[in-house]
Every structure is written in C-alpha cells, then in structure tokens.
C-alpha cells in the first residue's frame, strides 16, 4: 500500500551483553520522508540505524519493512531474525552509507558502485554499468569512474559511496554520520548531495551531528538520550522550541 511506512519499529530493546543500549524505541519512516536521529555520542543512534537493516539482533520489539514483520527465533539475548531470505531482502532494500565510506581500495570507483547490484542482486552487468554511471553523474563525479578510491578526496569518496548505495535502488537510504570524517570545506559537497536526495523525495534515515543539515532536510527529528527517545517532532519545533532540558542542553553544546 502506498501509505505503508518503509520502516516501522515498535518498542525496540537492544543489549550488548548486560548493557542495554536501546530501551524501548519507536521509529516510523513513511515513504518519502527524512527522519533524522540526533543525540550525544553513545546515545544509541548507530545501533538503532543498524537494527533497521538487521545488521544487529535485538532482544525485544517489532520491526516492519513495508508492512512485513521481521520474524524472530529464540528470545532475549538469543533472539535473531529467523529467515535469511527476509534479511537479505530487507538489507538490500535499505542501503547504508557509513562515516568511513568503506570503498574497496582494490576496485575502481565504477567497480565499487557496480559490485553489489551485480554480485548480490545478480543484475546484468551492462545495465548496472549504465546505472552506475548515471548515479556517479548524479553525485557529480562522472569523471572519476575509472579512478581508484585513493585518488579521490574524502568528499568525492563519500559521494561515490552514496552513488554505490543509490545503485542498489533501495527503498530507503540509511546514513550514519556521513559528513563526520570530512574536512569542513569538503562537508558541504556531501551535504548538497544529501539535500538533493531529500528534495527528490527519497526515504532516508539520517544520523548526523550537523544540526543545520537535520533542520534543513528532515520531516521529523528524533533526539535520543541514553537509549530512549527524549524528544521528537518536526524540525521547526525541535530546534526552535525544545521542550526538555536535555535537548536544550544538547543543542546549546552543539551550537
């Protein structure tokens, strides 16, 4: 159904051993919306993002992808997704962009972008190459297709990583601090790409320390504090009129 959210999470709990890092978190990512996750280091942002595409197990709670509930086996600390095919389907539909780009250094930029669609999705290499070049052009580095990752600036490498995520033609993009590893002058070229993707109506979950980016491109912002949602709402209200002492403190510390 058109109005079924791409991702829905209800009452998610996640522990590493005895350390509970998500303590009952809800998140809904409707199609075409950008959800930003903000909060101090260690508040659980990356963990929540990794739970969305099942890179992490969780101990309790529900995760739905396009209305389809993830099936679990086991319980408590031993709970895992039950169905490998379902995990693969969900993971390939939620492409992740990491802080550290994670490009393969022994492959050209074009090969990096083509790798997963060809090997994981088994798409026709000729068609994938056409798409890969299209997405490289979209992020402004068409001329770097034959270059090696080490020959690119950090900002160009991150744009290549975004092209790689796009080439999977996922239902949503998950960004984990995509600009944190970049020098300030290179940050903006990546910010521009992310804003353009938001403008064209892509569904995205964005973990960021860049409050301006979160304010500019989000439909909804979630402020995590020690594994709980302390406050959430539209960016205007969250940034313009924070209700909790903790969010006020966080915003004045990051300003």
- The residues binding ligand ADP (CB under 6 A) are 16, 19, 21, 39, 41-47
Choose between 47 and 112: whose C-beta lies nearer to ligand ADP.
47
Distance CA 153, CA 156 (A): 5
Run of H or E including 246: helix 245-254
Q: Give the pairing type, strands 220-225 and 19-29.
A: unpaired
Q: Which of Mg ion, ligand ADP, none binds 44 (CB below 5-8 Å, type-dependent)?
A: ligand ADP
Q: For residues 155, 161, 163 and 168, what is the CA-based torsion angle, rounded to 10 degrees?
A: -170
Choose between 46 and 112: whose C-beta lies nearer to ligand ADP.
46
Choose between 22 and 194: whose C-beta lies nearer to ligand ADP.
22
Q: How far is the CB of 89 from ligand ADP (least distance, A)?
A: 24
Q: Which of ligand ADP, Mg ion, none binds 16 (CB below 5-8 Å, type-dependent)?
A: ligand ADP
Cα separations (Å) of 236 from 23, 42, 59, 88, 146? Answer: 26, 25, 34, 36, 43
**Which parts of this chain interact with Mg ion (CB under 5 A)?**
46
Q: Is 17 helix (H, G, I), strand (E, B) or coil?
A: coil
Choose between 6 and 207: whose C-beta lies nearer to Mg ion.
207
Q: Is 251 helix (H, G, I), strand (E, B) or coil?
A: helix
Choose between 42 and 234: whose C-beta lies nearer to ligand ADP.
42
Q: How far is the CB of 99 from Mg ion (least distance, A)?
A: 8
Q: How far is the CB of 51 from Mg ion (least distance, A)?
A: 13
Q: Which of Mg ion, ligand ADP, none binds 241 (CB below 5-8 Å, type-dependent)?
A: none
Q: How far is the CB of 87 from ligand ADP (least distance, A)?
A: 18
Q: How far is the CB of 146 from ligand ADP (least distance, A)?
A: 35
As a residue count, the chain comes to 255
Q: Which of Mg ion, ligand ADP, none binds 208 (CB below 5-8 Å, type-dependent)?
A: none
Contact by Cβ (8 Å): 116, 128? no
Choose between 16 and 104: whose C-beta lies nearer to ligand ADP.
16
Q: How far is the CB of 80 from ligand ADP (least distance, A)?
A: 15
Residue 178 is encoded by which pair of tokens? 């995509």
Q: Which of ligand ADP, Mg ion, none binds 6 (CB below 5-8 Å, type-dependent)?
A: none
**Long-range pairs for 73-78: beta carbons < 8 A, 24 or more residues apart:** 77/15, 77/17
Read off the DSSP letter of residue 154: H
**Residues forming beta bridges with residue 8, ordered by sequence position:** 28, 64
Q: What is the per-residue DSSP string for 176-207?
A: ESTTTTS-HHHHHHHHHHHHHHHHTT--EEEE
């Amino acid at each position: 159904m058109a109005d079924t959210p791409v991702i829905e999470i209800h009452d998610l709990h996640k522990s590493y051993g005895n350390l509970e890092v998500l303590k009952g978190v809800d998140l809904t990512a409707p199609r075409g919306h950008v959800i930003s996750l903000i909060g101090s280091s260690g508040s659980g942002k990356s963990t929540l993002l990794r739970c969305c595409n099942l890179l992490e197990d969780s101990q309790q709670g529900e995760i739905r992808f396009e209305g389809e509930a993830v099936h679990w086996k086991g319980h408590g600390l031993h709970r895992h997704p039950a169905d490998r095919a379902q995990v693969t389907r969900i993971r390939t539909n939620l492409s992740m962009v990491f802080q550290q780009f994670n490009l393969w250094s022994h492959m050209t930029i074009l090969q990096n972008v083509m790798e997963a669609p060809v090997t994981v999705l088994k798409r026709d290499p000729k068609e994938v190459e056409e798409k890969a070049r299209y997405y490289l052009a979209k992020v402004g580095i068409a001329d770097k297709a034959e270059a090696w990752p080490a020959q690119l600036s950090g900002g160009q490498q991150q744009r290549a990583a975004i092209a790689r995520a796009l080439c999977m033609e996922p239902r949503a993009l998950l960004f984990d601090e995509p600009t944190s590893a970049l020098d300030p002058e290179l940050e903006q070229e990546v910010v521009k790409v992310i804003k353009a993707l938001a403008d064209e109506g892509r569904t995205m979950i964005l973990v960021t320390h860049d409050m301006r980016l979160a304010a500019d491109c989000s439909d909804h912002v979630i402020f995590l504090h020690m594994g709980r949602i302390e406050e959430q709402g539209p960016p205007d209200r969250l940034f313009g009129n924070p209700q909790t002492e903790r969010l006020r403190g966080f915003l004045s510390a990051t300003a």
